[in-house]
Amino acid sequence: VRVAPDQVERVGVVGAGVIGGAWAAHFLRMGLDVSLYEPSSVAREGALELLDAAWPTLERLGLREGASRERLRFPETLEETVADAQVVQEATPERLESKQEVFRLLDAAAPADVLLLSSTSGLRMTDIQARCAHPERTVVGHPFNPPYLLPLVEIVGGERTDPAAVDWAVAFYAAYGKEPVKLDVEIPSFIASRLQEALAREMLHMVAEGEATVEQIDAAVVNGPGLRWAILGPGLSFHLAGGQGGMAHCLDWWGPLLDEPWSRLAAPELTPELRQRLIDGCEREAAGRSVDELAAERDACLVALLEARDRCRDAR
Amino acid sequence: VRVAPDQVERVGVVGAGVIGGAWAAHFLRMGLDVSLYEPSSVAREGALELLDAAWPTLERLGLREGASRERLRFPETLEETVADAQVVQEATPERLESKQEVFRLLDAAAPADVLLLSSTSGLRMTDIQARCAHPERTVVGHPFNPPYLLPLVEIVGGERTDPAAVDWAVAFYAAYGKEPVKLDVEIPSFIASRLQEALAREMLHMVAEGEATVEQIDAAVVNGPGLRWAILGPGLSFHLAGGQGGMAHCLDWWGPLLDEPWSRLAAPELTPELRQRLIDGCEREAAGRSVDELAAERDACLVALLEARDRCRDAR
């Protein structure tokens, strides 16, 4: 019978690259036992170096009770790694064939009630789980780099995943210091990386056409929309840009401009249904807070971020 | 003869909407006299309310010597507004015809050595300056909302703008609390809004296709890439994602994936020249700092941002 998602004590991590090593650091911070499987001694050394570098930072952010670097071990085999793990986080190279094989082995070795979570940044769990006898407990748990600091984990199952397993994964990450976002649909590259990719591709076009340099682009982002994106996503940003009228007013103004060449990405038609979905989403997020209240929260948070950023830069 | 860009004492602001009112608040914070021209009494009231709301925040961020709300006045006419202003910041509605007319009037009223800066978010100065007798002193100075907090100002001249005027604008904004980014090329919507627009359009597609909701998208951004974008733009983000190999290694990995459907925005061809521009840009930004050093700076800053954000949320 599966352990409660907030009662986990032992985690298996498979792969000790940048992502696997960071997962290990995060789970250690959360007070868990971590079994980290990695056949390469070079990669194992790298994971220890990452842990050395990250640990003071994690101490500053706060360790959970019982958290200790001493609770990390490197088992010799995959079987030993998953033998007593209550959940397994996979973080091996991003190739479908090899992920399928890793999951086939994990599936054969781990008790059927243990969740197998993949850090894949773009593959579909439907494909990764293809060779598993118990695909119902396989779920994507995609972190963001650096995973010991950024809270986001995107969670989605494959066609043969049990919805209860997806919910367990959401509760597990939430209980252990993460901000899970559960997707309803399997889409290539999930949510955050798709948005990041759209922005990055526009950057490529600008640099390719000689319209802007990397430095100009980076300076524009960190001093403008980037600061806002740390506290407001693109949805609520537009909601606030609409003034008292919120997203509805913003769309009335923005809609006719979607054909302007303000990005190489063509916009979809702003149908009444799409319009309503955007407005409803912002209303749900605002949860009763007026635009003025949201703007006041944004400003207070922006001031705190600006002060924090200034202190960091001064400390250099 | 033009005043030195760091010796300005009197600013004219034209238009008291959300942007003009915010410019007035910022310049007051910087210790300047502000003449704010706005024919609508409702808008003038709105600007005073904005100033009431923003002032405690600006006090917390720090006022320059001599800064005072008492240094704001509302002249009756445009002529009076610019009569003794040493620089003029325009912030009127975003319609080419009306901007051209405002600039014609400002150009006729202001001494020929006074810079006329436009807050336009997407129009070209080449078009705005069409009816000016002295177009050489007209420059775009595009802020980001809220302009009394976000440091970015994008600066670009039109075809008939004197390059020396563009440089004066850069020095003026830098001297008075802003982070100017000077563009070499006039492009629709400049840099930051183009990137923002690419990201927003991908959001529209995702919502339209039922792939994700506004709430999922916003949560993914603020807990993932958004936190990073407050300190690292998309260029340096990829540089760090490349590990010790930096941007070059990242492009070797990313290049073959640019045809993947990871965004509706098609990517340009990653030519050797584009590749080199991206690498060179990151090297210039890194300014000798190794990837490890940059990652350590990123982590320290992320921790500070996370702590600041937590304090803000707790204070709600």
Do B224 and A53 make contact, defined as CB atoms within 8 angstroms? no
CA distances from B179 to B182, B196, B222 (A): 10, 18, 23
The CA distance from A174 to A164, in Å, is 15
Residues 6+ apart with CB under 8 A from B130: B100
How many Cβ atoms sit within 10 Å of the Cβ of residue B60?
Answer: 12
Model pLDDT, residue A293: 87
* Nearest to B86, CA basis, from B115, B112, B118, B119: B115
> Which H helix or E strand runs over B170?
helix B163-175
Model pLDDT, residue A262: 82
- At B14, phi and psi to the nearest 5? -115, 110
* Nearest to B132, CA basis, from B155, B154, B161, B152: B161
Nearest CA-CA distance, residue B69 and chain A, Å: 19
Helix H, strand E, coil C: the string for chain A is: CCCCCCCCCEEEEECCCHHHHHHHHHHHHCCCEEEEECCCHHHHHHHHHHHHHHHHHHHHHCCCCCCCHHHEECCCCHHHHHHCCCEEEECCCCCHHHHHHHHHHHHHHCCCCCEEEECCCCCCHHHHHHHCCCHHHEEEEEECCCCCCCCEEEEEECCCCCHHHHHHHHHHHHHCCCEEEECCCCCCCCCHHHHHHHHHHHHHHHHHCCCCCHHHHHHHHHHCHHHHHCCCCHHHHHHHHCHHHHHHHHHHHHHHHCCCCCCCCCCCCCCHHHHHHHHHHHHHHHCCCCHHHHHHHHHHHHHHHHHHHHHHHHHC
Interface with A, mutate which of B58, B155, B197, B313 (most A CBs under 10 A): B197
The CA distance from B31 to A292, in Å, is 27
Q: Report, as an integer, the average pLDDT of B266-292.
A: 89
Model pLDDT, residue A265: 85
Residue B211 backbone zone (phi > 0: left; psi -120 to 50: alpha; other: beta) = alpha
Question: Who among A192, A220, A240 is closest to B221 (CB)?
Answer: A192
Model pLDDT, residue B192: 96
Model pLDDT, residue A291: 85
The model's confidence at residue B45, banded by pLDDT at 50, 70 and 90, is: very high
* Nearest to B121, CA basis, from B19, B255, B243: B19
Half-sphere exposure of A273 (CA within 13 A, CB side): 7
How many Cβ atoms sit within 10 Å of the Cβ of residue A296?
Answer: 15
Model pLDDT, residue A79: 95
Interface with B, mutate which of A173, A181, A251, A275 (most B CBs under 10 A): A181
Question: Who among B183, B231, B313 is closest to A222 (CB)?
Answer: B231
The model's confidence at residue B75, banded by pLDDT at 50, 70 and 90, is: very high
Model pLDDT, residue B170: 98
β-partners of residue B37 are B14
Task: Tell me the three state secondary structure of residue B10.
Answer: strand
Model pLDDT, residue B241: 84
Residue of B nearest to A224 (CA): B152
Model pLDDT, residue B9: 98
Q: Is the pLDDT of residue B205 over 90?
A: yes
The CA distance from B215 to B193, in Å, is 22
Residues 6+ apart with CB under 8 A from B273: none
End-to-end CA distance of chain A: 51
Task: Tell me the three state secondary structure of residue B252.
Answer: helix
Interface with A, mutate which of B123, B223, B259, B294 (most A CBs under 10 A): B223
Q: How is residue A254 written in tokens?
A: 């923005």
The model's confidence at residue B129, banded by pLDDT at 50, 70 and 90, is: very high
Question: Who among B185, B188, B228 is closest to A150 (CB)?
Answer: B228
Model pLDDT, residue B234: 93
Residue of A nearest to B296 (CA): A53
* Mean pLDDT per 10-residue interval, chain A, length 316 residues: 95 96 98 98 95 92 96 96 96 96 98 97 96 98 93 98 98 97 94 94 93 95 94 90 85 83 85 90 89 86 88 78
β-partners of residue A36 are A13
Model pLDDT, residue A166: 98
The CA distance from A285 to A236, in Å, is 8
**Average per-residue pLDDT for chain B:** 93
Question: Who among B149, B199, B270 is closest to A195 (CB)?
Answer: B199
β-partners of residue B14 are B37, B90
CA distances from B229 to A32, A230, B154, B233, B280 (A): 30, 7, 18, 5, 20
Residues 6+ apart with CB under 8 A from A186: A124, A125, A126, A156, A157, A158, A159
The model's confidence at residue B187, banded by pLDDT at 50, 70 and 90, is: very high
Chain B hits for A190, Cβ within 8 Å:
220
Q: ipTM of this model?
A: 0.94
Task: Tell me the three state secondary structure of residue B116.
Answer: strand
Q: Is the pLDDT of residue B309 over 90?
A: no
Q: Is the pLDDT of residue B250 over 90?
A: no
Model pLDDT, residue B266: 84
Q: Is the pLDDT of residue B233 over 90?
A: yes
